[in-house]
Amino acid sequence: MSTFFLACNVLPSGEKSNQKTQSPNIVFIYLDDLGYGDVSAYGATELETPNIDNLAKGGVRFTQGYASSATCTPSRYALMTGQYPWRNKNAKILPGTAPLIIDTARMTLPKLLRIEGYQTALVGKWHLGLGTGVVDWNKRVSPGPNEVGFDYAYYMAATQDRVPTVYLKNGYVVGLDPEDPIQVDYKNNFEGEPTGKDNPELCDMMWHHGHNSTIVNGVPRIGYMKGGESAKWSDVDMADHFLEKAQQYVKSQKDDRPFFLYYAMQQPHVPRTPHPRFVGKSGMGPRGDVILEADWCIGEFMKTLEEEEFMENTLIVFSSDNGPVLNDGYYDDAVEKLGDHTPAGPLRGGKYSLFEAGTRVPFITYWKGTIQPGVSDALVSQLDLFSSIASLVGSDLEGPDSQNLMNVLMGESKKGRDQLVLEATTRTAFRKGDWVMIPPYKGPVKNEKVNIELGNSSEYQLYNLSNDIGQKHNMAKEKPEKLYEMVNAFKKIRGK
């Protein structure tokens, strides 16, 4: 009898039928520039992230979980494709007018899930390009998220600090008045339009480096934009807005198909514009405040999953696209009010860096009642989500560089990857076992503007992370055989 009910999905009215299906719902909660040390479950003592901590306490907290790159676009590219971002020369920080960098013919994680019967959704930051070249923001902007596998997509095109500062829904700018068309240009300003550079008196937030073009809501941005007044987002409401869309999506799930939701939150990327109810809450300035805001959003989102009775049938993966940065181009007190907080935890470097803090980020898997809580030191990468999730839902598909580590993500095995190529602004380094090798790179040792060590050196660097997590002791000269072994293994993958 029960088999019959399951097969036909005939369930008592009011009961969520996809509770009974085999494949779980899948949610990625993906933050932007959140560092390894920014979460109390990862050792932060100066700020509390109780809702993220709940995921960590009730799930598997990975101590060696990596983003695929130390910047946004390449990490997101790898998440969607299971391919190393350095294999695609276009996978680098994109302007708001960049074309879509994922070939619409290629397999992606949302497409794969769709084949397996999932409904798929993106809410939040996209930053993988839109259109094929020249975009007319007043018509449907495509290809975009819908064309690479998302049934529903509600998103910002690039970043908060880049124009256009509008939301899009399934290719259309939300709230656009056809009488006031949007124009966007990354080279030239529109005549007579104020800029952060020429009109600092119109800025409520001052730019430190870059970010001196069109001013929207008192915040000077990257790129120029004109028109589209009614469609412009409210920065302080962005967190609530995306949360609401994510919640609505979950609540709209009424049929028997499982769902995949990629909830790509914008915090704590610049400009940091907490809602007034979070202003001053961290004592650390806007950067700390938006981390608290993000944590609150996650708590609210979890409540919705609970209320909708999805908790026990939903796998949640929590992570960040790259490591932390304090001053990323605005004067916003991130440096001045930091106090004793260490966004990178014990790691060296930060966003843009080949050192650990560039890519080693908070990484948690949570599935109430199915995943046994624990801490795992296994080496895992976001790159591996593609093949792992594929196996979870019964697909044979694999991402080109993605390993099926589903049993590791479920906390059932501690055997993660043996090796991983790390990436930062198109440069690459190599992790194998406990060792990391960074080849010589020209370029500054430090990005002085953001005050982050980039990992560049004229010499090979070799670190043993098992006893030197802070990458203080370069062992390249002491361990020539190890260096040789690492360089050779790296070349085999990297091809040069």
For position 127 contacting ligand NG6 by CB under 6 A, the verdict is: yes
Which of the choices Ca ion, ligand NG6, none does residue 409 contact, using the CB cut-off of 5 to 8 A by kind? Answer: none
Q: Say if residues 322 and 369 touch (Cβ distance below 8 Å).
A: no
Residues in binding contact with ligand NG6, number by CB under 6 A:
17
| Residue showing tokens 């999730």 | 389
- Half-sphere exposure in the Cβ direction for 168 (13 Å, CA): 31
For position 161 contacting ligand NG6 by CB under 6 A, the verdict is: yes
Which of the choices Ca ion, ligand NG6, none does residue 161 contact, using the CB cut-off of 5 to 8 A by kind? Answer: ligand NG6
Nearest to 172 by CA among 136, 140, 147: 140
Pick 98 or 462: Cβ nearer ligand NG6:
98
Q: What residues numbered 68-107 form the site for Ca ion, per CB under 5 A? A: 72
Instruction: List all residues 6 or more positions away from 315 whose beta carbon is below 8 Å from its beta carbon.
Output: 24, 25, 26, 27, 365, 366, 367, 370, 371, 392
Nearest to 239 by CA among 170, 164, 176, 290: 290
Q: What residues numbered 183-202 form the site for ligand NG6, per CB under 6 A? A: none
- Measured at the CA of 210, the angle between CA 205 and CA 215, to 5 degrees, comes to 45
Closest residue (Cβ) to ligand NG6? 210
Nearest to 408 by CA among 111, 63, 25: 63
Tokens of 108: 């992606």
Nearest to 149 by CA among 94, 116, 117, 107: 107
Q: What residues numbered 197-226 form the site for ligand NG6, per CB under 6 A? A: 209-211, 222
- Half-sphere exposure in the Cβ direction for 376 (13 Å, CA): 32
For position 382 contacting ligand NG6 by CB under 6 A, the verdict is: no
Which of the choices Ca ion, ligand NG6, none does residue 461 contact, using the CB cut-off of 5 to 8 A by kind? Answer: none
Which of the choices ligand NG6, Ca ion, none does residue 400 contact, using the CB cut-off of 5 to 8 A by kind? Answer: none
For position 32 contacting ligand NG6 by CB under 6 A, the verdict is: yes
**Shortest distance in whole angstroms from residue 384 CB to ligand NG6:** 21
For position 161 contacting Ca ion by CB under 5 A, the verdict is: no
Pick 117 or 210: Cβ nearer ligand NG6:
210
**Shortest distance in whole angstroms from residue 199 CB to ligand NG6:** 18
Q: Residue 425 and residue 353: Cα distance in Å, rounded?
A: 8
Q: What residues numbered 20-49 form the site for Ca ion, per CB under 5 A? A: 32-33
Among 61, 245, 269, 272, binds ligand NG6 (CB under 6 A): 269
Among 227, 274, 329, 349, binds ligand NG6 (CB under 6 A): 329
Nearest to 20 by CA among 258, 208, 370, 236: 258
By CB under 5 A, name the binding residues for Ca ion. 32-33, 72, 321-322
- Which stretches of the chain bind ligand NG6, using CB under 6 A? 32-33, 71-72, 93, 127, 159, 161, 209-211, 222, 269-270, 322, 328-329
